[in-house]
Structure 1
Amino acid sequence: MASQQRPRRPVSGAPGARSARPVGAVTRGTTNPNRLRRMDRWIAAAHGGALRRTARATGRAVAVDLGYGAAPWTAVELLERLRTACPRAEVAGVEIDPERVAAARPYAREGLTFVRGGFEVPLPGGARPALIRAANVLRQYAEEEVPAAWARLTDRLGPEGLLVEGTCDEAGRRHVWVALGPEGPRTVTFAAHLATLDAPSDLAERLPKALIHRNVAGEPVRAFLRDFDRAWATAAPYAPLGARQRWIRTASALSADWPLADGPGRWRQGELTVAWPAVAPRGWVS
């Protein structure tokens, strides 16, 4: 929910606190069909089992598309993609701008609703979501506001719930996101359209707000991207076999020194996931 001209309501304060007004600020609203496909694909694979368990236990698994923007495409697509992993998945698109909510409501259907709200994530009956996806929401907030925003959002999660927060480019070809449970951040995933990738460090400009200003000497994420580029360069002989084979070889080499949380099955998708503690900002306190 990136700031424009209007004042921004702070996201600090007690994580469990409720507010009569939505918490946050209106984003620019930029969105495109298929922009979040890489994130959605990863969520369905990594979190599908938890969604199914939630659906078996409660009869439904509610996911939130927080700050979906000026058009509802990402919420519509999230429902379609989650239902490949969990047929009883439901999606609530949550937006702070009432005009955007009104414009999206004609697209509502079984399993898909649109409500006004912000970081407090209001759902009917106080339901706790099994998933909150917040893509390109914190991009223009201050770095020091991120922990409070994460705390608010993870506080809303149900059992086995997951928050996925990150940033991508307009076409969805470069994407980096953090996955968080109720206890805090767990992993960071780097995802790319490999055919257009010159080097893994091209993804640096899409680091989430918690990391983007830490891509400097002495910070773990800078060291990770440096080693990522070195492994990519070493894997250059595999380039004639295709960018995918080069990426897989790169990830395999990188795993010798960094705690990767995935394997070849995900690497083939142009993804690579590393444990959060390995790249967390220096001095980070969960």
Structure 2
Amino acid sequence: MSGRHPTGAVGTVGTVTRGTTNPNRLRRMDRWIAATLARELRGAADPLAVDLGYGAAPWTAVELLGRLRRVRPQAEVVGVEIDPARVAAALPYTRDGLAFLHGGFELPLPGGRRPLLIRAANVLRQYDEAEVAGVWAALRGRLAPGGLLVEGTCDEIGRRHVWVALGPEGPRSVTFATRLGSLDRPSDLAERLPKALIHRNVPGEPVHAFLTAFDRAWATAAPLSALGARQRWIRAVGDLRGQGWPVLDGPARWRQGEVTVAWTSVAPAG
């Protein structure tokens, strides 16, 4: 994080991202969040979410609000961007439950509000790996009790996505999600690993071992291809669980082209 202030604005922490965004780019992440955080959303006194670094257009914040409100009609979303021009461009989309603010990792929320969710998608790829832990810690420190930080990376149209989920105490899980028809093998997702893992996909590292095991399970499940990629994926993930990998979700999520594993099973070695 290094206290960067590239825009010259006092108090903002971070650097301007490329800003690339497309409608529905984050749909896989959003649907997972809505399902995973549903109980907390329904019970929260202040069901506030932050879309951090939403980019050059506000589509992802608008879509996040819609998806969360299917779970909790009173949900609110604040889009936070470090580029003042992007904030100005987003302001016409402001409406009940949706606001846009200039800021960075310091999260300048009015009234000291603490969000139940912070989503930071495609924000940290330009940072050094050594900076990730500091950013995570700063953002986790802003969460409400029971809150969740979701940080990850996807391709330009959201076909392939990998994200880390963190609670106030630290990282909990990693989710691999894909449009199954676009996949040759699970390790294709390696190019979308978040910054904390992208440089760790090498022999001797746990994430490399996981993707290698996933590729083997995928190859073993090849006979199910006649029934479709979904059935092949479900079998491969089931085989991973059978091998002892700590898969945290079940077939209902696997059918979506997802698998979530405990962070400790893929965290960087050393």
Regarding TM over 0.5, the answer is yes
Q: Indicate how the Cα distance of structure 1 residues 82 and 193 shifts in structure 2: closer, same or farther if over 3 A, else same.
A: same
1:10 paired residue number: 2
How do residues 1-286 of structure 1 correspond to structure 2 at under 5 angstroms? Answer: 10-11=2-3, 20-54=10-44, 58=45, 60-256=46-242, 257-283=244-270
**Superimposed CA distance per residue, residues 172-221 of structure 1 (whole angstroms, 9 cap, x where no aligned partner):** 00000000000000000000000111000000000000000000010000
Counterpart CA distance in 2 for 1:144 and 1:51 is 32
Local SS of the residue matching 1:255: helix
User: Residue 22 of structure 2: SS of its match in structure 1?
Assistant: coil
Query: 5+ unaligned residues in a row in structure 1: which ranges?
Result: 1-8, 13-18
Task: Give, in whole Å, the separation in 1 of the partners of 2:224 and 2:69.
Answer: 36
| Structure 2 CA distance for aligned equivalents of residues 45 and 244 of structure 1 | 20
Equivalenced residue count is 265
SS in 1 for 2:125: coil
Task: Report the alpha carbon displacement of residue 48 of structure 1 after superposing the two structures with TM.
Answer: 1.3
CA shift digits 1:232-260 (9 cap, x unpaired): 00000101101111100011000122000
Distance 2:258 2:14 in 1: 30
Question: How far apart are the structure 2 equivalents of 1:20 and 1:87?
Answer: 35
How many Å apart are 1:87 and its aligned residue?
1.2
- Distance in 2, matches of 1:253 and 1:127, equals 43
Q: Distance in 1 between matches of 2:226 and 2:140?
A: 44
What are structure 2's unaligned runs of at least 5 residues?
A: none
CA–CA distance in 2 between the matches of 1:148 and 1:84? 33
Percent of aligned pairs with the same residue? 72
Conserved in 2, the CA contact under 8 Å of 1:138 and 1:146?
Answer: yes
Q: Indicate the RMSD between aligned Cα atoms, in angstroms.
A: 1.1
TM-score by structure 1 length?
0.91
Whichever residue aligns with residue 101 of structure 2, its letter is V
CA distance in 2, matches of 1:84, 1:246: 31
| Cα distance in 2, alignment partners of residues 40 and 11 from structure 1 | 29
Tell me the distance in 2 between the aligned counterparts of 1:165 and 1:206.
12
Secondary structure, aligned partner of 1:156: coil
Secondary structure of the residue that 1:139 maps to in structure 2? helix
2:135, 2:198 → 1: CA distance? 16
Aligned partner letter, 1:223: A
